[in-house]
Amino acid sequence: MKIFNLDKVYSVVCNFKNTQYGFKHVATLCKSGLQIYETKICYYNRTWERFEYESILNKVVDYNFDGAEKQKYLAIVKTMQ
């Protein structure tokens, strides 16, 4: 499990789980410590991310934010490792 803080209000909790055909990343978006969204991405082969959980973090931001807020959080994700 790894926790990524987007700011003082939002954080994303990411987990890795094995599946029958590969593995998946599961992410939960939390607002002030309360779960507000959960998603997953299944992988059947090796991924080519800059850092672990990059794709799932981008998906969480893309589905939950709009406009300037979305651009702000995408820029924050880009700086993470």
- 3-62 pLDDT, tens digit each: 999 999 999 999 999 999 889 999 999 999 999 999 999 988 776 788 899 999 999 999
**What pLDDT is stored for residue 47 in this prediction?**
67
> Could you give the number of structural domains in the chain?
1
- Output the pLDDT for position 81: 73
pLDDT at 49: 80
For residue 37, the enclosing domain spans: 2-79
12-45 b/e (C-beta count within 10 Å ≥ 16 → b): bebeeeeeeeeebbbbbbbeeeeeeeebeeeeee
